[in-house]
Amino acid sequence: MRRHPHVFAGTEVKDAAEVLQRWEDIKRGEEGREGIFHDIPASLPSPLHAQRVQLRAAAVGFDWQRHEPVFEKISEEIGELLAALEAEEGERRQGERRGPQTAAYHEVGDVLFAVVNLARKLDIDPELALRSASKRFQQRVEEAERLAAADGEDFCGLPIERQEEYYQRAKEKR
Protein backbone atom coordinates (compact mmCIF):
# COMPACT_ATOMS: atom_id res chain seq x y z
CA MET A 1 0.00 0.00 0.00
CA ARG A 2 2.87 2.32 0.85
CA ARG A 3 4.46 1.84 -2.57
CA HIS A 4 1.25 2.28 -4.56
CA PRO A 5 -0.52 5.33 -3.11
CA HIS A 6 -2.22 6.00 -6.45
CA VAL A 7 -4.12 2.73 -5.98
CA PHE A 8 -4.67 2.49 -2.23
CA ALA A 9 -4.34 5.99 -0.77
CA GLY A 10 -6.46 7.90 -3.25
CA THR A 11 -3.51 9.87 -4.63
CA GLU A 12 -4.30 11.32 -8.04
CA VAL A 13 -1.88 10.78 -10.94
CA LYS A 14 -2.34 11.95 -14.51
CA ASP A 15 -0.62 9.11 -16.38
CA ALA A 16 1.64 6.05 -16.21
CA ALA A 17 4.75 8.22 -16.41
CA GLU A 18 3.76 9.98 -13.19
CA VAL A 19 3.10 6.61 -11.52
CA LEU A 20 6.63 5.49 -12.48
CA GLN A 21 8.16 8.75 -11.28
CA ARG A 22 6.37 8.53 -7.92
CA TRP A 23 7.40 4.87 -7.61
CA GLU A 24 11.04 5.82 -8.15
CA ASP A 25 10.77 8.61 -5.59
CA ILE A 26 9.27 6.24 -3.01
CA LYS A 27 11.95 3.57 -3.58
CA ARG A 28 14.74 6.13 -3.37
CA GLY A 29 13.34 7.46 -0.11
CA GLU A 30 12.89 4.04 1.47
CA GLU A 31 16.15 2.55 0.37
CA GLY A 32 18.37 5.60 0.62
CA ARG A 33 19.27 5.39 -3.05
CA GLU A 34 20.36 8.39 -5.02
CA GLY A 35 20.48 9.27 -8.68
CA ILE A 36 18.63 8.17 -11.77
CA PHE A 37 20.74 5.05 -12.26
CA HIS A 38 20.87 3.94 -8.62
CA ASP A 39 19.69 0.37 -9.11
CA ILE A 40 21.39 -0.71 -12.34
CA PRO A 41 23.82 -3.55 -11.58
CA ALA A 42 27.26 -3.00 -13.09
CA SER A 43 27.53 -6.76 -13.63
CA LEU A 44 24.92 -6.91 -16.41
CA PRO A 45 26.07 -7.85 -19.93
CA SER A 46 26.99 -4.64 -21.76
CA PRO A 47 24.01 -4.49 -24.17
CA LEU A 48 21.56 -5.08 -21.31
CA HIS A 49 23.36 -2.56 -19.10
CA ALA A 50 23.21 0.06 -21.87
CA GLN A 51 19.55 -0.68 -22.43
CA ARG A 52 18.75 -0.29 -18.72
CA VAL A 53 20.67 2.99 -18.53
CA GLN A 54 18.71 4.27 -21.52
CA LEU A 55 15.40 3.13 -20.03
CA ARG A 56 16.22 4.98 -16.81
CA ALA A 57 17.05 8.14 -18.72
CA ALA A 58 13.82 7.72 -20.68
CA ALA A 59 11.87 7.35 -17.43
CA VAL A 60 12.85 10.91 -16.51
CA GLY A 61 12.07 12.21 -19.99
CA PHE A 62 15.59 12.21 -21.44
CA ASP A 63 14.79 10.30 -24.62
CA TRP A 64 13.82 10.82 -28.22
CA GLN A 65 10.16 10.16 -28.94
CA ARG A 66 10.86 8.42 -32.25
CA HIS A 67 13.63 6.29 -33.72
CA GLU A 68 14.62 8.61 -36.60
CA PRO A 69 16.89 10.87 -34.50
CA VAL A 70 18.75 7.76 -33.33
CA PHE A 71 19.87 7.10 -36.93
CA GLU A 72 21.26 10.64 -37.02
CA LYS A 73 23.07 10.01 -33.73
CA ILE A 74 24.58 6.78 -35.06
CA SER A 75 25.82 8.63 -38.15
CA GLU A 76 27.27 11.37 -35.95
CA GLU A 77 29.07 8.81 -33.77
CA ILE A 78 30.46 6.97 -36.81
CA GLY A 79 31.77 10.31 -38.10
CA GLU A 80 33.47 10.94 -34.75
CA LEU A 81 34.96 7.44 -34.86
CA LEU A 82 36.36 8.02 -38.35
CA ALA A 83 37.87 11.31 -37.20
CA ALA A 84 39.43 9.61 -34.15
CA LEU A 85 40.91 6.86 -36.33
CA GLU A 86 42.35 9.45 -38.69
CA ALA A 87 43.86 11.38 -35.78
CA GLU A 88 45.40 8.19 -34.35
CA GLU A 89 46.83 7.07 -37.71
CA GLY A 90 50.45 6.05 -37.31
CA GLU A 91 50.35 6.22 -33.49
CA ARG A 92 50.07 2.50 -32.89
CA ARG A 93 51.69 -0.69 -34.08
CA GLN A 94 49.80 -3.10 -36.34
CA GLY A 95 47.75 -5.55 -34.27
CA GLU A 96 48.06 -3.53 -31.07
CA ARG A 97 44.73 -3.16 -29.27
CA ARG A 98 43.32 0.29 -28.76
CA GLY A 99 42.69 0.74 -25.06
CA PRO A 100 40.53 3.07 -22.97
CA GLN A 101 43.11 5.85 -23.32
CA THR A 102 42.32 6.23 -27.06
CA ALA A 103 39.60 8.32 -28.63
CA ALA A 104 38.73 5.48 -31.03
CA TYR A 105 37.99 3.21 -28.06
CA HIS A 106 35.51 5.74 -26.66
CA GLU A 107 33.95 6.39 -30.05
CA VAL A 108 33.37 2.68 -30.69
CA GLY A 109 31.62 2.57 -27.32
CA ASP A 110 29.48 5.54 -28.36
CA VAL A 111 28.55 3.83 -31.65
CA LEU A 112 27.57 0.64 -29.79
CA PHE A 113 25.59 2.61 -27.21
CA ALA A 114 23.71 4.43 -29.99
CA VAL A 115 22.96 1.15 -31.78
CA VAL A 116 21.58 -0.33 -28.53
CA ASN A 117 19.42 2.78 -28.29
CA LEU A 118 18.11 2.15 -31.81
CA ALA A 119 17.31 -1.47 -30.93
CA ARG A 120 15.46 -0.27 -27.83
CA LYS A 121 13.47 2.26 -29.83
CA LEU A 122 12.54 -0.46 -32.35
CA ASP A 123 11.55 -2.90 -29.55
CA ILE A 124 14.35 -5.31 -30.46
CA ASP A 125 16.41 -7.03 -27.80
CA PRO A 126 20.01 -6.03 -28.69
CA GLU A 127 21.52 -9.05 -26.94
CA LEU A 128 19.38 -11.50 -28.89
CA ALA A 129 19.79 -9.61 -32.17
CA LEU A 130 23.58 -9.57 -31.80
CA ARG A 131 23.68 -13.25 -30.87
CA SER A 132 21.53 -14.05 -33.92
CA ALA A 133 23.81 -12.02 -36.20
CA SER A 134 26.88 -13.78 -34.78
CA LYS A 135 25.28 -17.17 -35.37
CA ARG A 136 24.35 -16.27 -38.98
CA PHE A 137 27.88 -15.02 -39.64
CA GLN A 138 29.39 -18.18 -38.18
CA GLN A 139 27.12 -20.42 -40.24
CA ARG A 140 27.91 -18.50 -43.41
CA VAL A 141 31.68 -18.64 -42.86
CA GLU A 142 31.43 -22.37 -42.17
CA GLU A 143 29.40 -22.81 -45.36
CA ALA A 144 31.91 -20.70 -47.30
CA GLU A 145 34.65 -22.98 -45.99
CA ARG A 146 32.68 -26.05 -47.19
CA LEU A 147 32.08 -24.47 -50.61
CA ALA A 148 35.77 -23.70 -50.97
CA ALA A 149 36.69 -27.25 -49.95
CA ALA A 150 34.23 -28.62 -52.53
CA ASP A 151 36.18 -26.60 -55.13
CA GLY A 152 39.46 -28.01 -53.81
CA GLU A 153 40.39 -24.72 -52.12
CA ASP A 154 41.64 -24.09 -48.58
CA PHE A 155 39.41 -21.23 -47.38
CA CYS A 156 41.88 -20.20 -44.68
CA GLY A 157 44.67 -19.76 -47.23
CA LEU A 158 42.66 -17.71 -49.72
CA PRO A 159 43.01 -13.96 -50.12
CA ILE A 160 40.17 -11.94 -48.65
CA GLU A 161 38.63 -11.27 -52.08
CA ARG A 162 38.21 -15.02 -52.74
CA GLN A 163 36.99 -15.63 -49.20
CA GLU A 164 34.40 -12.91 -49.76
CA GLU A 165 33.24 -14.60 -52.98
CA TYR A 166 32.64 -17.85 -51.10
CA TYR A 167 30.98 -15.95 -48.26
CA GLN A 168 28.57 -14.29 -50.69
CA ARG A 169 27.74 -17.68 -52.21
CA ALA A 170 27.10 -19.07 -48.74
CA LYS A 171 24.93 -16.07 -47.92
CA GLU A 172 22.77 -16.76 -50.98
CA LYS A 173 22.19 -20.33 -49.78
CA ARG A 174 20.87 -19.27 -46.36
Q: How far is CA 54 from CA 19, 25, 36, 114, in A?
A: 19, 18, 11, 10
CB-based contact 13:22 (threshold 8 Å)? yes
Check residue 79 and give its pLDDT. 98
Check residue 40 and give its pLDDT. 92
Check residue 166 and give its pLDDT. 98
Q: In the CATH scheme, what architecture does the domain 42-123 have?
A: Orthogonal Bundle (1.10)
Mean pLDDT by 10 residues, the chain (174 residues): 56 76 67 78 94 94 95 98 92 80 95 98 96 97 98 97 98 86
Q: Domain map of the chain by residue range?
A: 1-34, 42-123, 129-173
**Other CB atoms within 10 A of residue 171 CB:** 14
Q: How far is CA 67 from CA 26, 52, 57, 74, 129, in A?
A: 31, 17, 15, 11, 17
Check residue 33 and give its pLDDT. 59
